[in-house]
Amino acid sequence: MIERAPFGATGHDSSRVIFGAAALGSVSKGDADRALDVLLAHGINHLDVAASYGDAELRIAPWLRRNPGTFFVATKTDGRSYRAAREEIRRSLDRLGVDHVDLIQLHNLVDVIEWDTALSSGGALEAAIEAREEGLVRFIGVTGHGLSVPEMHRLSLERFPFDSVLAPYNFVQMQDTRYAETFEALAAVCAERGVALQTIKSLARRRWDGRPATAATWYEPLREQADVDLAAHWVLGRPEAFLLTTGDVEILPRLLDAAERFERRPSDGEMAGLAARQDATPLFV
């Protein structure tokens, strides 16, 4: 079984691998149910979905009915105004078939103008706080992609005591000193304040750059089990980090298998060898 750890200061012990339900956005019910079986076999108890992930919330709804109390459920809103976020939060509850979720996240809050809108009076944060007060959500987080996201998250934590953050994290991306410095600064604040640190893009190899896509992800992922092992073990080698799974149900079993066998963090030499062998490049430059 995959190990568990405190999810920030929420009081919940989450599996250190969190299921990224973007993988369910366009799959059949049968594929979704097979994915559930894999998750349960590995002890995954935390699901991360979003209103914008196609049919993913609808695919998860039957899981929650059949396995009450099994999963810490997180979803996301792209709304930036109070009204848009309020409507989306309630729509997500309806689609998931629940009366509350554990975590609502302001999704991809990176653009400076959108960030200010969402966190100001009349913004999405007000809707999230209201939902928490009404018992519709328990905790509030923030997510993002791109080079600037660690610094934006740090600023977000200065503005409001979010319970969790989510940002890209893999060996190749962390070779960019600009990104690494801001990520480490964010991680330090999270550790100091008891904020859960979630990471994405663990298996990112490179962008497709015009090549035919052969996976459900917008970037090319690592596929070979030995490579998946190295990439996953490197992320899990950071004890406070949670790893969100790659958005492709075909790769999911390999990633979970790797996580269950985690014992040590690969060396920088091993990771540099992987990056060279796979011609890996940062997604964000």
pLDDT tens-digit series, residues 31-55: 999 999 999 999 999 999 999 999 9
Average pLDDT over the chain reads 97
Going by C-alpha positions, the residue among 96, 95, 100 that lies closest to residue 128 is 100
pLDDT: is 32 or 139 the higher one? 139
Between 28 and 137, where is the model more confident?
137
Going by C-alpha positions, the residue among 85, 144, 140 that lies closest to residue 118 is 85
Mean pLDDT confidence for 96-118: 98
Write the CATH number of the domain with boundaries 4-277: 3.20.20.100
Q: How far apart are CA 154 and CA 172, in angstroms?
A: 22
Can you say whether the dihedral through the CA atoms of 127, 129, 134, 137 is positive or negative?
Answer: positive
For residues 199 and 95, give the distance between their C-alpha atoms in angstroms, rounded to a whole number.
Answer: 25
- Give the model's pLDDT for residue 254: 98
Residue 5 has what DSSP assignment? E
CB 246 within 8 A of CB 199: no
The SS3 assignment for 265 reads coil
Band of residue 74 on the pLDDT scale cut at 50, 70, 90: very high
pLDDT tens digits along 237-261: 999 999 999 999 999 999 999 999 9
